[in-house]
């Protein structure tokens, strides 16, 4: 047990999850809840809940429409949220920040707008074996319209993105590399800096699915020099129904609209319509105003905790959980490459992930069980599914301990 | 929430660990694949029918304890029954696990119906109901499809 006691102070140093937990009403309403499913969706701090409620109570009106004061102040708040996102990603301009419904919609937007306009038959898009379905299916749908080739970068023996294989797959035909920043299944942090450098050297663009990374580590799109970056509000402690597509200005400028309607036009006649500049060109119809404002509150909240502190905390906690799980007989932790953050997947011998999920739930431990929308990865791992524990700013080592205790109970029950 | 042991009764753990009639059937007259896209569980149910009578039934696949036990119990119970009898058992079982209006089965089937009762604990676990019905859906699809086979999804 000396390992355990050595680790604990380190887990607690970066931030104080007990104090943070007081910001999250869900834990007050559900005493004893061991919430280990933040990778699916994070809980919401009262700053977000109250901020959205306050906006509806005092400032609500449609945006970019009315000349009256309420509409202007609503527009101001909506556009201020865009500025908060810009800062969060260190983008150059708010023109590069498109509000969408979530990571899934962001990737679909790139596939249907940039992909349809810029890709030609025979062009190649590189994905990886670790991708979420939302970074596979949009490209397959595009392939039905334009005969592009989809290639997948395999994982190496450590469960990491195989850079050598990636280098072999890169070719002059590669036009886009679309990969996760952090795997939603294993927590593997992909070597995105190297990938971006190598892709750019071959003239390919790079899209990062930042759904798991945005809430867990500082993201600087300019330092990364990434072309597109997508993330979801609800995984970054914000509301559901809002997300972000970052795109380099020059790329967005050249992209056609993907949905038509109000808010995205300059002039409309029945013969011809001209469109607004980005980002509004890609925001047809009344947007999720309160969602964007709530996302602003959420990103401010993460900043107030400190993004380096969040990363350090989750790194230490992930290491602790992996160590405890790996020490359990009959428990197999899925390999996650050189770096792992915030997420750990595992199987338990003789217990199907769904049975395990039900038993853990009975012990108030909420984990995700199943294929995690990553069936190609499940095939690669040779499992039907896994159980997955994932952490947030409110998680601490007692959550990992509760998970381990509940697994022992499940093993006891299914032993025989 | 109910006690876990009511969901995972010994008979379920036993059938989950040691499923009966768990093999393929080269001479099957009917078969179908069942797939629960939500969790990825798969089951294939094979039947050998002689007219209306189920002379043999087996299954293959991978799934949780509930779905494996349900498939195993199903094969034990419907072997030797007519298709109508098996359908009647499924209807009453389905009503029980989904919390619908109970359906009476003919007196001759009551004992078999009761054998399925340990599985009805899933009704308080909505996410698990489909685990308990997957094999039965595959059985129904097999009867309808004949030797060409079919795939049925629980969604």
Please give the residue of chain B at the shortest CA–CA distance from A375.
Answer: B40
In a mutational test of the B interface, the residue from A347, A351, A354, A362 whose CB has the highest number of chain B CBs within 10 Å is A354
| Complex confidence, ipTM | 0.86
End-to-end CA distance of chain A: 28
Cβ burial of B133 (10 Å; 0-12, 13-18, 19+) is buried
Query: Which residues in chain B touch residue A370, judged by CB atoms under 8 angstroms apart?
Result: 38-40
Q: Which tokens belong to B152?
A: 């049925």
* Residue A90: partners with Cβ closer than 8 Å, 6 or more residues away: A219, A220, A221, A222, A223
Query: Which residues in chain A touch residue B40, judged by CB atoms under 8 angstroms apart?
Result: 370-371, 375, 378, 384-385
pTM summary value = 0.91
End-to-end CA distance of chain B: 25
Buried b / exposed e over A240-261, threshold 16 CB at 10 Å, is bbbbbbbbbeebbeebebbeee
Query: In angstroms, what separates the C-alpha of B99 from chain A's closest C-alpha?
Result: 19
User: Of all helices (H) and strands (E), which one includes residue B32?
Assistant: strand B30-36
In a mutational test of the A interface, the residue from B42, B43, B63, B64 whose CB has the highest number of chain A CBs within 10 Å is B64
Query: Which residues in chain B touch residue A351, judged by CB atoms under 8 angstroms apart?
Result: 65
* Residue A287: partners with Cβ closer than 8 Å, 6 or more residues away: A63, A78, A99, A263
Cβ burial of A189 (10 Å; 0-12, 13-18, 19+) is buried
Give the Cα separation of A404 and A393 in Å (integer): 20
Note the maximum CA span of chain B: 45
> What digits encode the pLDDT tens for the residues B37-96?
777 788 999 999 999 999 999 999 989 999 999 999 999 999 999 999 999 999 999 999
Please name each of the domains of chain A with its CATH number: 2-31+306-414 (3.90.1150.10), 49-304 (3.40.640.10)
So where are chain B's domains?
9-153
* Separate counts of helices (H) and strands (E) for chain A: 17, 15
- What confidence score (pLDDT) does residue A1 get? 38
Mean pLDDT of chain A: 94
Query: CB–CB of A324/A400 below 8 Å?
Result: yes
Give the Cα separation of B31 and B139 in Å (integer): 8
Query: In angstroms, what separates the C-alpha of B97 from chain A's closest C-alpha?
Result: 17
With an 8 Å Cβ cutoff, is A32 touching chain B? no
Q: Which of A156-160, A234-238, B95-99 has the lowest mean pLDDT?
A: B95-99
In a mutational test of the A interface, the residue from B1, B3, B4, B41 whose CB has the highest number of chain A CBs within 10 Å is B4
With an 8 Å Cβ cutoff, is B41 touching chain A? yes
Buried b / exposed e over A120-150, threshold 16 CB at 10 Å, is eeebbbbbbbbbbebbbbbbeebbeeeebee
Task: Give the residue numbers of A annotated as catalytic, written as ranges.
Answer: 373
- What confidence score (pLDDT) does residue B5 get? 81
Residue A54, pLDDT above cutoff 70: yes
Nearest to B1 among A362, A413, A414 (CB): A362
Mean pLDDT of chain B: 91
What CATH code is assigned to B9-153?
3.90.1010.10
> What digits encode the pLDDT tens for the residues A171-216?
999 999 999 999 999 999 999 999 999 999 999 999 999 999 999 9
- In Å, what is the CA distance from A160 to each residue of A34, A128, A200, A205, A335? 29, 10, 21, 21, 8
> What digits encode the pLDDT tens for the residues A366-394?
999 988 888 888 888 888 889 999 999 99
């Amino acid at each position: 047990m000396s390992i355990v006691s050595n680790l604990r102070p380190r887990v607690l140093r970066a931030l104080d999850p007990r104090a943070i937990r007081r910001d999250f009403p869900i834990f007050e309403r559900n005493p004893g809840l061991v919430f280990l499913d933040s990778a699916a969706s994070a809980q919401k701090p009262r700053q977000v809940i109250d901020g959205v409620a306050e906006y509806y109570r005092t400032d609500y009106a449609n945006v970019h429409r009315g000349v009256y004061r309420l509409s202007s102040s609503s527009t101001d708040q909506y556009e201020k949220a865009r500025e908060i996102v810009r800062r969060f990603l260190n983008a150059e301009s708010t023109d590069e920040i498109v509000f969408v419904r979530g990571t899934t919609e962001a990737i679909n937007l790139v596939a249907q707008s940039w992909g349809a306009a810029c890709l030609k038959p025979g062009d190649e898009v590189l994905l990886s074996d670790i991708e979420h379905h939302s970074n596979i299916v949009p490209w397959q749908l595009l392939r039905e319209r334009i005969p592009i080739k989809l290639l997948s970068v395999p994982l190496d023996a450590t469960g990491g993105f195989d850079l050598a294989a990636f280098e072999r797959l890169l070719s002059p035909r590669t036009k886009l590399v679309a990969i996760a920043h952090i795997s939603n299944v294993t927590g593997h942090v992909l070597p995105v800096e190297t990938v971006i450098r190598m892709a750019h050297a071959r003239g390919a663009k790079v899209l990062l699915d930042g759904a798991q990374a945005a809430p867990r580590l500082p993201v600087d799109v300019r330092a990364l020099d990434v072309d597109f970056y997508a993330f979801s509000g609800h995984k970054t402690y914000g509301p559901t129904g809002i997300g972000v597509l970052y795109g380099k200005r020059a790329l967005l400028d050249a992209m056609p609209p993907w949905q038509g309607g109000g808010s995205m036009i300059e002039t409309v006649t029945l013969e011809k319509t001209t469109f607004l500049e980005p980002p509004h060109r890609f925001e047809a119809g009344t947007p999720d105003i309160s969602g964007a404002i709530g996302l602003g509150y959420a990103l401010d909240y993460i900043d107030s905790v400190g993004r380096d502190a969040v990363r350090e905390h989750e790194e230490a906690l992930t290491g602790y959980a992996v160590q405890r799980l790996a020490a359990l007989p009959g428990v197999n932790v899925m390999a996650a490459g050189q770096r792992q953050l915030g997420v750990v997947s595992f199987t338990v011998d003789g217990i199907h992930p769904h049975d395990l999920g039900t038993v853990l739930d009975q012990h108030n431990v909420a984990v995700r069980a199943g294929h995690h929308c990553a069936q190609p990865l499940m095939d690669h791992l040779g499992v039907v599914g896994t159980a997955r524990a994932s952490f947030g700013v409110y998680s601490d080592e007692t959550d990992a301990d509760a998970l381990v205790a509940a697994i022992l109970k499940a093993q006891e029950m299914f032993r025989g | 929430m109910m006690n876990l042991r009511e969901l995972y009764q010994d008979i379920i753990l036993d059938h989950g660990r040691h499923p009966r009639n768990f093999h393929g059937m080269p001479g099957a007259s009917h078969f179908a694949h069942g797939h629960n896209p939500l969790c990825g569980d798969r089951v294939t149910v094979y039947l050998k029918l002689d007219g209306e009578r189920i002379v043999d039934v087996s299954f293959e696949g991978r799934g949780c304890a509930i779905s494996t036990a349900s498939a195993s119990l199903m094969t034990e119970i419907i072997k030797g029954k007519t298709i109508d009898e098996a359908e009647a058992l499924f209807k009453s079982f389905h009503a029980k696990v989904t919390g619908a209006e109970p359906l009476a089965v003919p007196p001759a089937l009551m004992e078999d119906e009761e054998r399925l009762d340990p599985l009805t604990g899933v009704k308080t676990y909505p996410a698990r109901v489909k685990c308990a019905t997957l094999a039965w859906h595959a059985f129904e699809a097999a009867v309808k499809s004949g030797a060409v086979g079919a795939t049925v999804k629980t969604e």
